[in-house]
Amino acid sequence: MSKYYVNKFLYQVDGDPELLAAYKADPAALLERWELERGQWLNRSERTTWLSFTDREREALIAHDYVTLFELGAHFFLSLTIFIAIYDEDYASEFGPLSFQREYGANLARWMGTDYPSVAL
Amino acid sequence: MATLSAVLATTHHPFYLKATTAPPEERMPQADEWKRKVEAYRETLTAAKPDVLVMVGADHFHQFFSDNYPTFLIGKQPQYDATFYNETREFGIPPYLLEGHEELSGYMLQGLMDRGFDFSVSHELKIDHSIICPIITTRPDADLPIVPIYTNIFAPPLPSPKRFWDLGRAIRSVIDEWPGEQRVAAVSSGHLSLELGGPRQFGETGPDPVFDRQAIEWLRTGDIDAILANVTHESMTASGNATHGFMDLILMMGIAGPIEASYVDSLDLFHTMEAYVTWYPEGAPE
């Protein structure tokens, strides 16, 4: 498991409008492209050779599955921000303001009153 | 010596600008009350007639990430760009270009190092909403030079609440020793109880209104002993997974010292409670 690598994906994609649009349109293709072009790259010339996703992490990212990402300990701010970017506008126009954020919280309801999975690395 | 003209500790609700500038048919019911409270709070800074702002905030994974996330960082630049693409996208906050006060940044950096706080320093820092939100609320003309200080309230492991208090005391000591006649104000934004990306997010109130009221009372009375006896990383987590931004408010009380606040207001909003606290450690402005 690599919470760091999951967070790196969320961080980089959320901060880049072109990557974000691609992640919304075709998550599997974008994930593959990101791993090839960016995931293991520290900068344009230096590589971090050992970083990789587990199958569960990869599947959760492809499925936009923020519940699993929460349970894997992905950073809550990164997950919330990127999925708001992807879903908020569509939800708000159909179901009203904050409807996506409230559904997101409701889907995590089983964690209410318990210790959440740690986001510490 | 410089004068510490005011210390302001406030929450930063990134939707303030959007909420109070939306067309009437889209305005939330509390928008007018929110605007009135913010404008009244702004007066506490305006009245202090500051020349320079020492601003404390925290980068929300905008510039800094876990490949190299600083615990404490200061910017030392002539100017600062502000507002990241994803903040404009989500919150509707526009870009800013703020003047920097390089001399005070350098003096502060050395002074904090001398006092046992080994800061990181950035010469290409871009400011995020933790500092731009209080600019929008307390100094919307953005016409004063700033010294930005970032703390880690975000990427564990975090420094202790006591460390934030001690850092506030150290910042105060450096400001007190800064030669010159300038009037310095310290302005910070943090949080009360807050949940992000968890089951308690975006509720009708913040996740722990009982903590919120207690926290405001601690700030009002300058009761650092009660804060340090009651507030731990674990207790903040229990109040909401992003409550650790309260430590930046503890830091600000550290700059003011264990004294009563001169101005305290709050507003119970959806998602989180707002707090507006001002201390005048060297006496209220005339």
Helix (H, G, I), strand (E, B), or coil: what is residue B279? strand
Instruction: Give the mean pLDDT of B55-66.
Output: 97
Q: Where are the domains of chain B?
A: 3-279
Please classify residue B124 by burial: count the beta carbons closer than 10 Å to its beta carbon, then call 0-12 exposed, 13-18 middle and 19+ buried: exposed
Q: Is the pLDDT of residue B209 over 70?
A: yes
| B222-241: pLDDT as tens digits | 999 999 999 999 999 999 99
- A106 near B CB under 8 A: yes
Task: List the domain boundaries for chain A.
Answer: 3-111
pLDDT at B115 exceeding the cut of 60: yes
- Cβ–Cβ gap A116/B198 under 8 Å: yes
Residue B200 has pLDDT above 70, yes or no: yes
Instruction: For residue A1, name the pLDDT band (cuts at 50, 70, 90).
Output: low
pLDDT at B271 over 90: no
Q: Read off the pLDDT of each residue in B11-39 and give the average, rounded to a whole number.
A: 92
Give the model's pLDDT for residue B286: 82
Which amino acid belongs to residue A36? Answer: L
Condensed to tens digits (0 to 9), the pLDDT of residues A10-36 reads 999 999 999 999 999 999 999 999 999
Number of H helices and number of E strands within chain A?
7, 0
Q: Give the mean pLDDT of A76-87.
A: 98
Residues of A whose CB is below 8 A from B128: none
Task: Confirm or reject contact between A44 and chain B (CB < 8 A).
Answer: no
* Per-residue model confidence as pLDDT tens digits over A27-65: 999 999 999 999 999 999 999 999 999 999 999 999 999
Nearest by CB to B241, from A8, A98, A116: name it: A116
Closest to B85 in 3D by CA, of A9, A20, A29, A5: A20
Helix (H) or strand (E) holding B5: strand B3-11
Distance from CA of B197 to the nearest CA of A (A): 5
Beta carbons of B89 and A66 less than 8 Å apart: no
Q: Could A80 and B201 be called an inter-chain contact, meaning their C-beta atoms sit closer than 8 Å?
A: yes
Q: What is the pLDDT of residue B180?
A: 84
Q: Rounded to an integer, what distance in angstroms lies between the CA atom of residue A56 and that of residue A58?
A: 5
Q: What is the DSSP letter of A35?
A: I
Domain B3-279 has CATH 3.40.830.10: yes
Q: Which residue in the set B89, B157, B202 is minimally distant from A101, CB to CB?
A: B202
Is the minimum CB–CB distance between B22 and chain A shorter than 8 Å? no
On the question of pLDDT at B136 being above 80, the answer is yes
Q: Considering just the CA atoms, what is the radius of gyration of chain A in Å?
A: 15
Tell which residue, B77, B108, B131, has the closest CA to residue B255. B108
Q: Find the mean pLDDT for residues B85-91.
A: 95
Predicted confidence at residue A29, as pLDDT, reads 98
Q: Which of A109, A110, A71, A103 is nearest to A84 (CA)?
A: A103
In DSSP terms, B3 is beta-bridged to: B183
Q: Which residues on B lie below 8 Å from A78 (Cβ)? A: 61
- Residue in A8, A75, A85 closest to B90 by CB: A85
Q: What is the pLDDT of residue B26?
A: 83
> Taking Cα atoms as reference points, which of B115, B127, B215 lies closest to residue B168?
B115
pLDDT tens profile B4-17: 999 999 999 999 99
For chains A and B, CB pairs below 8 A equal 75
The whole-angstrom separation of Cα B84 and Cα A86 is 17
Phi, psi (degrees; rounded to nearest 5) at A87: -115, -25
Q: Cα torsion at B146, B161, B170, B131 (round to 10°)?
A: 0
